[in-house]
Structure 1
Amino acid sequence: MRLFFGLDPLAGDKRAIDSWRQRVATADGRPVPPANFHLTLAFLGEVDERHLEALCDTVDDLALPGTGELRLDRVGYWPRPGILWIGPAAPQPALESLAGDLGRAGQAVGARRERRRFVPHLTLYRGCRVPPPAPAEPPDLPFRFRGVTLFESRRGRDGIRYEPVAAWEGGGFSQR
């Protein structure tokens, strides 16, 4: 199973982000479907399904957020691999700490260690070959979420889908 922990924005926020993108954020890459909008906390990569229960049990013991809100007010572009993204401009020490905790939970069951520095972001476009122009209207979008979700990345005929595997809404409670 190809897994990652992330924050799943509320449906209304996904619509607002997509509307802003369609109005002002153009790029030559592939737009990420709004259903796939998320903020990755820890990418685990391939995890044997036999380790899923142990992974969830480890996360049950972590102090996780319940509901929360971020402001997506910064645009970024990574030339390799051609990603246009938005994220919070302000430092997010609580998210950085949470990302580290979740990454270590993954390592405890054999998941790979993420070597890149954590940058909270939501991907808008993938595969951009040239740097996109700066948006005419800077983002100032809410990103509200309820807890942490463990997603499985599944490739199908219609592209990649992110399916929730488990969710924690704070207090160590998981829905599997």
Structure 2
Amino acid sequence: MRIFFGLETDSDTRRALADWRDRYGIAAGRAVPAANFHITLAFIGEVDNRRLDTLCRAVDALEPGPHGGAGKILLDQVGYWPKPGIYWAGPSQPAPELAALARKLQHVGGMVGARLEKRPFAPHVTLYRGCTEPPPAPAVLPAITLAYAHFTLFESQLGRQGASYQALEHWQLEP
């Protein structure tokens, strides 16, 4: 199975992001279904059941304090990465607590063979994939708050309609 750690978006946040995208964030690409909106913390990749169990036990063993607590971020900017063709929404302000959590989870992922990410952590929600050209600047920037109280281990499942993400496990963050 192909897995990653991420922050889920609640239904209000998904609806607000989809509404903003459909009104102001038009791009020449495939719109990501709102059900797939999330912020990836650490991509792990392909694992078997044995390595999945090892990974979950290692996350269970993390001390509550080192990976920060519950919080929120303001998704108030958009960006475009040309090589993967991704148009995204994310925070303009750094999110050091999420970056610390992402590093911890990536380190734990490395224990089961995940490739360590060399790029700095850039929290974002992918709005479009397969963009063939840079999207025009939106008339109105998003201003959507994403609150989080836990992080999730997701399985990415490929189907006829593209990828869908199934939550496998959740870990609460301290208030």
* TM-score, normalisation: structure 1: 0.93
Secondary structure in structure 2 of the residue aligned to 1:142: strand
- Whether contact under 8 Å (1:8, 1:146) holds in the other structure is no
Distance of 1:18 and 1:66 partners within structure 2: 27
For 1:83, the aligned partner's letter is I
Q: CA 1:66–1:10 in structure 2 vs 1: closer, same or farther (change >3 Å)? A: farther
2:55 aligns with 55
**Superposed CA RMSD:** 1.2
For 2:173, the aligned partner's letter is G
Superposition map of 1:3-152 within 5 A: 3-62=3-62, 63=64, 64-65=67-68, 67-152=70-155
Q: Which of 158, 162, 173 is the equivalent residue of 1:170? A: 173
Aligned length: 171
For 2:18, the aligned partner's letter is D
Distance of 1:91 and 1:97 partners within structure 2: 11
Greater shift, 70-79 or 53-62, is seen at 53-62
Distance of 1:33 and 1:24 partners within structure 2: 16
Deviations 1:40-83 (A, max 9, x none): 00011112221111111111122345542110011110001110
Secondary structure in structure 1 of the residue aligned to 2:6: strand
* TM-score, normalisation: structure 2: 0.93
Secondary structure in structure 2 of the residue aligned to 1:125: strand
Secondary structure in structure 1 of the residue aligned to 2:116: coil
Structure 1: any 5+ residue segments left out of the alignment? 172-176
Secondary structure in structure 1 of the residue aligned to 2:113: coil
- Whether contact under 8 Å (1:66, 1:170) holds in the other structure is yes
For 1:25, the aligned partner's letter is G
Runs of 4+ residues over 3 Å off in structure 1: 64-67
Distance of 2:61 and 2:15 partners within structure 1: 33
Distance of 2:173 and 2:98 partners within structure 1: 14
Greater shift, 113-122 or 125-134, is seen at 113-122
The percent of aligned pairs where both chains have the same amino acid is: 52
